[in-house]
Amino acid sequence: MPAWVGRIARVREIPVAVAFVTLVAITAALNPRFLTPQSVKDLMLNATIIAILAAGQAMVIISRNVDLSVGSMLGISGFATGAIFAAFPEIPIFFVFLAGITVGAVLGAFNGLLVVTAKVPSLVITLGTLYVYRGINNAWAGGTEHFSGDRPKAFSALSVDTLFGLPIITLLAFAVIAVLALYLGKFRSGRDYYAIGSDPEAAMLFGIPVARRVFTAFVINGALAGLAGVLFASRFSSVGARTGTGFELDVIAAVVVGGVAIFGGSGTVIGAAIGAFLLTTITSALTAVRVDKFWQQAVVGILILSAIVIDRVSALRTARRLRMSQARAGETAAQGGSS
């Protein structure tokens, strides 16, 4: 089964990777300034936060769940970052990262606990926590916003300075995504998620600790949302009660565009990350090519739909190829047996 899964996963990433490269190529052809060092840096930075969120969400969706509360979790973590720096200006940056990730992990754990113990659909639970966490964010922040001037220069510099040509926070995102992809692809316990997403009952019968895995997925997703919140505070000017509102649908769109099946069981974290890059780049590309501002959102919608259709077509084709090859294998086995 492992090699089988691997091959499918690779096939699913190709459409979105090709789309991404095509988009960049066409846009650069129409406007060469799209690929100046500043622009490339901007593209990478833009995609970083959504890519991290998409990676975590991919893990949740692969296990046949969904987490709609990521935007609210990011908001709480982002505001917490701002609040911590405002209260303790000398605090080491590492501690703030730790705090943000922990906050996110706790919120994710609450989601996971409810989904796993109450055995209720994650869409419902996380829709509820979307509201509850947003309410908590508002209750805590009120009308206060924390501005980037109150955060250490070194912290903000993480979103500006580069290492090996890549912005630091993007390197961080790549590292996180790589670790997650490795875990899901190469480790036995990671591949369990695909089994759970394909057929939860069979997975349970097979001996996979479904509850523990699903709970872990939500905790990791929450931790990544927390990390994304800290990075948001590093990159943007202000964090407050409204931070992160509406991110959830963008993240799910990125994951879906990246080839992760919404019903679980297939797709990869890398694909989701590419999907995130694709979606954030589309917006910048449309502006760079001077598409009428009133048409930009409609074009994004068309592109999301195209990505889903292409993904569906390629998945169907793969399934058909598999069925045919399995049928052929069955025939040859039968022939071999009967001769």
Q: What dihedral do alpha carbons 263, 269, 275, 278 form, nearest 10°? A: 180
Q: What is the closest distance, in whole angstroms, from the C-beta atom of residue 281 to other proteins in the complex?
A: 11
Binding status of residue 26 toward other proteins by CB under 8 A:
no
Binding status of residue 312 toward other proteins by CB under 8 A:
yes
Residue found under tokens 């964010």: 137
Distance CA 181, CA 311 (A): 20
* Shorter beta-carbon distance to other proteins: residue 190 or 251: 251
State the sign of the Cα–Cα–Cα–Cα dihedral 59, 62, 63, 65. Answer: positive
Binding status of residue 19 toward other proteins by CB under 8 A:
no
* Shorter beta-carbon distance to other proteins: residue 183 or 245: 245
Q: Which of residues 186-245 bind other proteins (CB under 8 A)?
A: 232, 235-238, 240-243, 245
State the sign of the Cα–Cα–Cα–Cα dihedral 74, 76, 77, 83. Answer: positive
**185 half-sphere exposure, CB direction, 13 A CA radius:** 18
Task: Work out which of 89, 92, 135, 165 binds other proteins, going by CB under 8 A.
Answer: 135
* Shorter beta-carbon distance to other proteins: residue 190 or 261: 261
Task: Work out which of 5, 6, 11, 31 binds other proteins, going by CB under 8 A.
Answer: 31
Distance CA 295, CA 286 (A): 9
* Shorter beta-carbon distance to other proteins: residue 180 or 288: 288
* Shorter beta-carbon distance to other proteins: residue 150 or 331: 150
Binding status of residue 89 toward other proteins by CB under 8 A:
no
Q: Which of residues 47-76 bind other proteins (CB under 8 A)?
A: 66
8 Å CB contact between 236 and 244: no
Using H for helix, E for strand and C for coil, what is the string for 290-311?
Answer: CCCCCCHHHHHHHHHHHHHHHH
